[in-house]
Amino acid sequence: MAAISPPSTTIKYIDAIIADIYWGRDQDKRKYHWASLDTMSLPYTEGGVGIRRLSDICTSIQHKQWWNSRSKVTLWSQFLKSKYCQRAHPVSKEVDTGQSLM
């Protein structure tokens, strides 16, 4: 998950597995869900249980990678800058559909 973001179908599949862990199954039928995973993923102060959503984790990892590539001089940040930002500053660079999203 740190290198690329998984497709949304994969995230939904893993969310279904997580829901089965919490609520389980009864003879190949899903049990009744007393609360949705969206409600359970809210913080305690907002009435949730505090479970982190997989999509939120993927987004935070992507933001952390962006921040580390911008603030630290690492081999990975040097590679990204030399590959995608040769003639322009990384912030002014627009995303092109033919290029990688990073």
Domain ranges of the chain: 8-84
Q: Give the integer Cα–Cα distance in Å for 99 and 101.
A: 6
Whether the CB-CB separation of 63 and 79 falls below 8 Å is answered with: no
Q: What is the pLDDT of residue 3?
A: 60
pLDDT tens string 43-69: 888 888 888 888 888 888 888 888 887
Whether the CB-CB separation of 74 and 68 falls below 8 Å is answered with: yes
Give the residue-averaged pLDDT of 65-94: 78
pTM score of the predicted model: 0.63
Q: Which residue has the higher pLDDT, 61 or 28?
A: 61
Share of the chain above pLDDT 90, in %: 1
Residue 20 has pLDDT above 60, yes or no: yes
Q: Give the integer Cα–Cα distance in Å for 35 and 23.
A: 10
